[in-house]
């Protein structure tokens, strides 16, 4: 009787004693973990904790050195992604894999396009459009989506694309879905929609493995979380039993509650460092006004598309200013290129580290010293001294606790957090007056976040004015001294962040925005 | 109530933290040495096949190690080398110039028209020739960076234009009868090494210095490594790229002058075969076709290797047509090797 174990009571997927070693690092060590049927299960851990290695093993991309994988109780070998997919394991990766210039239908069936009947059709590979459309309708019905089969993927919103991606992954009868950072490109509303989608999939019996850096999200959406640190499994917990602080403590092994550095009690309101008045940049920005004081960290809060990034870009000279004024230390600032902005003491950490921040094939030294080395310095010399740049880099590596094997290794080998520190370091090297930081901790581990927050606060204490744009409200509330609200290309209000909760902020953003827009238009 | 199916680990139970990789000055020094060596290997690793090839040629042909043959080999290498140094710089900025061979021909013709046809003092002829090359390079650069046309298309177009103009101006004939002083540029020598070789080496040293020790050099690498990031750290990307195009055009023109002086002849079709050799030398030398990576030292070795291939195959009586096939295949093999290395 004991042998008659019902499939329903067995975990959907279980790993036992899983270990994996890369050259010099033990990526996973004796990991035992169970993913139940019909649960949303978040994998948490800092960069390098072993999450992606674990995911790569259960999706068949790599094989473990030791240990076994059981699916529905049967030990199986996942030797390739195709095998894993055959066994019902589907994965959606951070970089979406849809092809933008093809239609929804074509993308859904891209891996096995139906050919029209007859020998000729099959030989020539003529695509059967009717069958294509039928499949799309079926999949859409199954997941309660209202896809237009003929719409180009490029015309879909990020959240529609995300759901299409999930639909495609599940269309081959998958029962376990792995989602890697699915919400990093989504607005809050879209996130909620995705969570609902995931819950309804769970209720249909699908197991979901969720990977995110956003701990609140993990706790909100999952049933259970499992924590990895340095390749070791630290246990699974029901989300209802956990707080964010406890999770941080588990992940980092250090006391929580010190995520954000202490704020200054009151920023002395002397002359503003940066004074923005009635700034416009058609068609994105209409009416932007705020002051930034030396020693202050100012947050710009707004929903995706509200123009937060555009404000930074206009100040930095990459977006054309069409009206209003910007003053730096009381003098008019009129820049039309980043070079002029930098010469005036401005610095910008761009939103997208990979495409706009990093020089991936270049050394750590070059990534840190690029600004100091390419903009003419005080010495006005045409020449550079490699020694001096190396010195600069090793100073910064020590100061920001950047984890590198060697300062000569390419930046692409570093983790996201350390890459972001390189981008930050290059600006600290030239001691800016104003630092514009666009999503300074996106896709960065907790440990690196703490380090980045500490550094930003340190800079502020040294008199730098800092503007932070962030989609994470806890970051704005925890880090900033003041928050300016942005909506539809306008600044619509401001508040101090003492005693402010994230919900307050969201409410203000929604209500404030509406009433002000209403007034203006009324 | 927790489910009986699994046991939740208590929050207090934590294994010790494994050692994390930290930056240590001592270790960095050792690795730095290692990186230095592996980098040096990347550009000088070519020395081994080169030496083996030379040894093979020395054994199989009595002529290879004669003064005359080595002089010739280096002379051939010098002209391609001057072109390839410009190409290296341009490839580092993630652009390509297909017009270098055509510019070489057009500049030689420009020198011929000024010096021979108009009997102007020959140094002015050189100025005219190099000016022609720089102008074509600037046009390539401006159209590419300001109008956003891919450099492949732009320089393919100027290739046609330059060759056409050169042939039209000379009616397809060669111009000869350069003054003796001018010809000395191609003929004069020291200890069996001709002046063009010194010119090429001087250019290599200067450009190597520019690339590794000047702000401009770092801008070249930055623009090629990530165009958008370069713009956001204050680099004027269009200007830097245009400068690299101008350098490429100027170098091609210099090659044309050297060729004209050496042969006492200027012809629009001069450089038609040199484009292939120059690009082969650059990729053999380890410069990435996707920008941001490369060195002129590697290119120098690549140039000597390509020249040796031609020279050796000549000595073995292989037809020049087969030689082209060989050079083409080498480009292909290097391309495959590079993409496999990048894939890892």
What are the pLDDT digits (tens) for A7-38?
Answer: 567 888 899 999 988 766 778 889 999 999 98
* A287-296 mean pLDDT: 92
At B227, list the tokens: 């165009």
Enumerate the β-bridge partners of residue A437.
A349, A468
pLDDT tens digits along A295-307:
899 999 988 788 9
Number of helices and strands (H, E) in chain A?
A: 17, 20
User: Which of B23, B27, B230 minimises the CB distance to A402?
Assistant: B23
Helix axis angle for B274-284 and B320-343, nearest 10°, is: 30
Q: Decide if A26 and B18 are in contact by the 8 Å CB cutoff.
A: yes
Name the residue facing A373 among B14, B218, B230 (closest C-beta).
B218
Compare A96 and A416 and report the one with higher pLDDT: A416
Which residue of A235, A350, A405 is in closest CB contact with B8? A235
Q: What does residue B229 show for φ and ψ, rounded to 5 degrees?
A: -65, -40
Nearest to A426 among B23, B233, B235 (CB): B233
pLDDT > 90: percent of chain B: 49
Contacts of B6 in chain A (CB under 8 A): 34, 236
Nearest CA in chain A to B13: A234
More confident residue, A46 or A368: A368
Q: With a cut of 80, say whether residue A147 has pLDDT above it.
A: yes
Q: Which long-range contacts (CB under 8 A, 24 or more apart) does A7-11 make?
A: A7/A72, A7/A73, A8/A37, A9/B5, A10/A37, A10/A72, A10/A73, A11/A35, A11/A36, A11/A37, A11/A70, A11/A73, A11/B5
Mean per-residue pLDDT, B34-55: 68
Question: B64-343 has which CATH code?
Answer: 1.10.3470
**A positions 37-96 inside 8 Å of B (CB):** 48
Which residues does chain A have within 8 Å of residue B293's beta carbon, measured at their own beta carbons?
A: 361
Which residues in B lie closer than 8 A to residue A246 (C-beta atoms)?
11
Mark yes or no for CB contact B225/A359 under 8 Å.
Answer: yes
Give A350's contacts in chain B (Cβ within 8 Å). Answer: 229, 232
pLDDT higher than threshold 80 for residue A264: no
Contact B114, B128 (CB under 8 A): yes
Say whether residue A345 is in contact with chain B using an 8 A CB cutoff. no
Q: Could you say which of A230, A356, A384 has the minimum Cβ distance to residue B229?
A: A356
CB B77 within 8 A of CB B302: no
Q: Do B234 and A405 touch (CB under 8 A)?
A: no
pLDDT at A325: 93
pLDDT at res. B143: 96
User: From the candidates A35, A250, A370, which should be mutated to test the interface with B, based on the most B CB atoms within 10 A?
Assistant: A370
- B273's enclosing H/E stretch is none
pLDDT tens digits, B177-221: 899 999 989 888 877 788 999 999 999 999 999 998 888 999 999
Model pLDDT for residues A301-340, shown as the tens digit of each residue: 988 788 999 999 999 999 999 999 999 998 999 899 999 9
First to last CA, chain A: 75
Name the packing angle between helices A416-428 and A364-374 (round to 10°): 20
Residues B93, B244: contact at Cβ < 8 Å?
Answer: yes
Q: B-chain residues within 8 Å CB-CB of A231?
A: 18
CA distances from A419 to A412, A444, A483 (A): 8, 9, 27
Residue A253 at interface with chain B, using a CB cutoff of 8 Å: yes
- Calculate ∠ Cα A509-A512-A517, nearest 5°: 115
The answer, as to whether pTM is greater than 0.90, is no
CATH number 3.40.50.300 is the correct assignment for the domain at A7-252: yes
Q: Which residue in B106, B211, B203, B197 sits closest to B159, CA to CA?
A: B106
List CB contacts (< 8 A) between A250 and chain B: 11, 14
Residue among A369, A469, A464, A385 at smallest CA distance from B233: A369
Taking 80 as the threshold, does the pLDDT of residue A261 lie above it? no
**What percent of the residues of chain B are helix, what percent strand, and what percent coil, each to the nearest 5?**
70, 5, 25
In what helix (H) or strand (E) does residue A253 lie, and over which residues does it extend? none
Contact state of A386 with B10 under an 8 Å Cβ cutoff: no
As a whole number, the mean pLDDT across chain A is: 84
Task: Among B212, B217, B234, select the one facing A339 at the smallest CB separation.
Answer: B234
3-state DSSP assignment of residue B194: strand
Contacts with B260 (C-beta within 8 Å, 6 or more apart), sequence order: B108, B111, B112, B129, B178, B182, B186, B266, B270
Whether A402 contacts chain B with CB within 8 A: yes
User: What's the pLDDT band for B34 if we cut at 50, 70, 90?
Assistant: low
What is the three-class DSSP state of A49? coil
CB proximity A424 to B under 8 Å: no
Nearest-angstrom CA–CA distance, B245 and B103: 12
Q: Which of B217, B226, B289 to mutate to test the interface with A (most CBs of A within 10 A)?
A: B226
Q: What is the pLDDT of residues B286-333, one digit of tens each?
A: 888 888 888 999 999 999 988 998 898 888 888 888 888 888 888 888
Q: Is the model's pLDDT at B27 over the cut of 80?
A: no
Which residues of chain A are within 8 Å of residue B286 when distances are taken between CB atoms? none
Which of B24-28, B253-257, B282-286 ranks highest by mean pLDDT? B253-257
Closest Cα in chain B to A247 = B11
d(CA A456, CA A128): 57
- Flag whether pLDDT at A5 surpasses 60: no
Q: What's the pLDDT at A522?
A: 27
Q: Say if the Cβ atoms of B228 and A409 lie within 8 Å.
A: no
C-alpha–C-alpha distance, residues B79 and B73, integer Å: 11
User: How many Å lie between the alpha carbon of B212 and the closest alpha carbon of chain A?
Assistant: 8
CA A225 vs CA A188, A236, A244: distances in Å: 21, 6, 12
Measure the CA–CA gap between A217 and A445, rounded to whole angstroms: 15
- Considering only CB atoms, which chain A residues are within 8 Å of B216? 382
Residues in chain A closer than 8 A to B17 (CB atoms)? 229-230, 253
Give me B196's structure tokens: 């063009």
pLDDT of residue A250: 80
- In this prediction, residues A481-495 reach a mean pLDDT of 89
Residue A292 scores a pLDDT above 90 = yes
> Between A231, A382, A398, which is nearest B23 by CB?
A398
Domain spans in chain A, listed from the N-terminal domain onward:
7-252, 274-521
Q: How confident is the model at residue A268 (pLDDT cuts 50, 70, 90)?
A: low
CATH class of A274-521: alpha beta
Residue numbers in A near B228 (CB within 8 A) = 355-356
How much is the average pLDDT of A273-288? 92
Report, as an integer, the average pLDDT of A176-181. Answer: 88
Q: Does A370 touch chain B (CB under 8 A)?
A: yes
Cα distance between residue B22 and residue A314, in whole Å: 38
pLDDT exceeding 70 applies to what percent of chain A? 91
**pLDDT confidence of residue A168:** 84
Lowest mean pLDDT among A113-127, B72-86, B103-117, B248-262: A113-127
Q: Do A338 and B231 touch (CB under 8 A)?
A: yes
**What is the predicted pLDDT for the residue at A386?**
85
Whole-number average pLDDT of chain B: 84
Q: Which of A246, A249, A408 sits opposite B31 (nearest CB)?
A: A408
Instruction: Kindly report, residue by residue over A47-74, the tens digit of the pLDDT.
Output: 778 888 898 899 888 888 889 998 888 8
Q: Is A6 on the interface with B (CB under 8 A)?
A: no
Which residues of chain A neighbour B28 with C-beta distances below 8 Å?
Answer: 394, 406-407
Q: Who contacts A107 (Cβ-Cβ below 8 Å, separation ≥6)?
A: A98, A99, A153, A164, A168
Contact A444, A451 (CB under 8 A): no
CA distance A278 to A285: 10
Mean pLDDT of B87-116: 94
pLDDT tens sequence across B130-143? 999 999 999 999 99
Confidence of residue A6 (pLDDT cuts 50, 70, 90): low
Does A229 sit within 8 Å of B17, measured CB to CB?
Answer: yes
């Amino acid at each position: 009787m004991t042998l008659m174990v019902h499939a329903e009571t067995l975990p959907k997927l279980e790993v036992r004693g899983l270990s994996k070693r890369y050259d010099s690092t033990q990526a996973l060590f004796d990991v035992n973990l169970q993913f139940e049927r019909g649960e949303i299960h978040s994998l948490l851990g800092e960069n390098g904790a072993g999450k992606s290695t674990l995911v790569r093993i259960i999706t068949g991309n790599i094989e473990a050195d030791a240990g076994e994988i059981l699916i529905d109780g049967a030990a199986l070998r996942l030797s390739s992604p195709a095998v894993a997919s055959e066994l019902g394991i589907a994965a959606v990766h951070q970089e979406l894999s849809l092809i933008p210039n093809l239609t929804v239908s074509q993308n859904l069936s891209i891996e096995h396009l139906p050919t029209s009947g007859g020998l000729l059709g099959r030989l020539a590979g003529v695509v059967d459009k009717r069958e294509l459309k039928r499949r799309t309708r079926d999949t859409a019905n199954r997941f309660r989506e209202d896809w237009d089969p003929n719409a180009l993927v490029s015309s879909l919103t990020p959240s529609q694309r995300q759901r299409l991606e999930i639909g495609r992954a599940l269309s081959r009868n998958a029962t376990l879905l792995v989602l890697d950072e699915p919400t990093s490109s989504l607005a809050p509303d879209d996130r909620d929609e995705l969570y609902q989608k995931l819950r309804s999939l769970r209720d249909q019996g699908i197991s979901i493995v969720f990977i995110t850096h956003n701990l609140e999200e993990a706790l909100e959406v999952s049933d259970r979380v499992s924590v990895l640190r340095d390749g070791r499994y630290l246990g699974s917990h029901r989300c209802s039993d956990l707080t964010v602080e406890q999770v941080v403590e588990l992940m980092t092994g250090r006391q929580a509650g010190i995520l954000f550095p202490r704020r200054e009690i009151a920023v002395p309101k002397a002359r503003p460092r940066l004074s923005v008045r009635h700034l416009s940049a058609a068609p994105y920005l209409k009416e932007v006004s705020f002051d930034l004081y030396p020693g202050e960290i100012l947050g710009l809060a707004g929903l995706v598309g509200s123009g937060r990034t555009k404000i930074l870009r206009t100040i930095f000279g990459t977006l054309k200013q069409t009206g209003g004024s910007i003053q730096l230390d009381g003098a008019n600032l009129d820049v039309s290129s980043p070079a002029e902005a930098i010469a005036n003491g401005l610095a910008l950490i761009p939103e997208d580290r990979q495409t706009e921040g990093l020089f991936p094939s270049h050394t750590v030294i070059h990534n840190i010293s690029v600004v100091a080395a390419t903009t003419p310095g005080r010495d006005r010399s045409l020449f550079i001294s490699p020694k001096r740049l190396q010195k600069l880099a090793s100073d910064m590596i020590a100061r920001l606790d950047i984890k590198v094997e060697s300062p000569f290794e390419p930046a692409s080998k570093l983790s996201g957090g350390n890459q972001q520190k390189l981008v930050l370091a290059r600006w600290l090297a030239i001691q800016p007056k104003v630092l514009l930081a666009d999503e300074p901790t996106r896709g960065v581990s907790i440990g690196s976040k703490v380090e980045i927050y500490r550094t930003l606060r340190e800079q502020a204490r040294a008199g730098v004015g800092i503007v932070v744009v962030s989609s994470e409200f806890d970051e704005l509330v925890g880090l900033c001294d003041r928050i300016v609200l942005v909506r539809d290309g306008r600044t619509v209000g401001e508040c101090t962040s003492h005693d402010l909760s994230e919900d307050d902020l969201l409410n203000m953003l929604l209500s404030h925005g509406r009433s002000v827009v209403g007034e203006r238009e009324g | 109530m927790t489910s009986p199916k699994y046991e939740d680990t208590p929050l207090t139970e934590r294994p010790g933290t494994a050692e994390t990789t930290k930056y240590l000055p001592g270790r960095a020094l050792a690795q730095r040495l290692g990186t230095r060596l592996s980098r040096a290997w990347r550009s000088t690793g070519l020395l081994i096949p080169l030496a083996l090839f030379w040894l093979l040629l020395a054994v199989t042909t009595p002529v290879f190690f004669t003064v005359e043959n080595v002089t010739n080999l280096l002379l051939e290498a010098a002209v391609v080398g001057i072109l390839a140094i410009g190409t290296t710089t341009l490839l580092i900025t993630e652009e390509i110039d297909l017009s270098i061979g055509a510019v070489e021909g057009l500049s030689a013709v420009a020198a011929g028209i000024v010096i021979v046809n108009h009997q102007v003092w020959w140094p002015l002829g050189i100025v005219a020739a190099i000016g022609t090359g720089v102008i074509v390079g600037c046009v390539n650069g401006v159209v590419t960076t300001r109008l956003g046309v891919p450099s492949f298309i732009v320089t393919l177009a100027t290739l046609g234009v330059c060759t056409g103009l050169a042939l039209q101006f000379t009616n397809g004939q060669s111009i000869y009868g350069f003054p003796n002083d001018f010809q000395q540029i191609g003929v004069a020598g020291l200890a069996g090494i001709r002046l063009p070789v010194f010119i090429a080496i001087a250019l290599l040293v200067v450009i190597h210095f520019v690339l590794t020790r000047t702000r401009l050099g770092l801008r070249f690498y930055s623009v090629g490594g990530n165009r958008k990031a370069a713009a956001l750290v204050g680099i004027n990307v269009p200007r830097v790229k245009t400068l690299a195009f101008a350098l490429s055009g100027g170098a091609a023109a210099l090659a044309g002058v050297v060729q004209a002086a050496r042969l006492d002849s200027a012809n629009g079709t001069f450089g038609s075969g040199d484009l292939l050799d120059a690009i082969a030398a650059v990729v053999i030398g380890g410069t990435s076709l996707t920008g941001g990576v490369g060195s002129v030292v590697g290119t120098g070795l690549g140039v000597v290797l390509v020249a040796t291939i031609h020279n050796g195959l000549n000595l073995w009586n292989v037809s020049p047509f087969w030689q082209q096939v060989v050079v083409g295949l080498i480009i292909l093999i290097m391309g495959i090797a590079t993409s496999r290395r990048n894939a890892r």
